[in-house]
Amino acid sequence: QKEVEQDPGPLSVPEGAIVSLNCTYSNSAFQYFMWYRQYSRKGPELLMYTYSSGNKEDGRFTAQVDKSSKYISLFIRDSQPSDSATYLCATMTTSGTYKYIFGTGTRLKVLA
């Protein structure tokens, strides 16, 4: 079993839709969770960073962590064509060294 599982998509939605992207993880010791956005042929850029459970909002983006079910989500409100990208969830272990574990990424296409 992979430590972080993510539906690869692709996911196509009309402009203005609410998008829900999800990941599950296996290790209850994970406490730091991140969402990265990656445009084609570019490096990933950090979108959201959360610690432990709860919600975090930044503009049209909301990150949600449910540690009881080991589930992390990213919601995008009023989606725009410029949101079309691959979204990677990630977590981090801190046992001795810092090691990041990434999901496979979900490709999102927002249609104008």
Partner 1 sequence: DGGITQSPKYLFRKEGQNVTLSCEQNLNHDAMYWYRQDPGQGLRLIYYSQIVNDFQKGDIAEGYSVSREKKESFPLTVTSAQKNPTAFYLCASHRGGGANVLTFGAGSRLTVL
* Residues near partner 1, by CB under 8 A: 6, 8, 32, 34, 36, 41-46, 49, 88, 90, 92, 94, 97-100, 102-105
Listed residue (90, 86, 80, 68) closest to 110, CA to CA: 80
Residue 80 DSSP symbol:
-
Supply the minimum distance, in Å, between the C-beta of residue 30 and partner 1: 11
Give the bridge partners for 72, in sequence order.
Answer: 23, 65
- Token representation of residue 112: 């104008």
- Nearer to partner 1 by Cβ, of 16 and 54: the residue is 54
Supply the minimum distance, in Å, between the C-beta of residue 17 and partner 1: 25
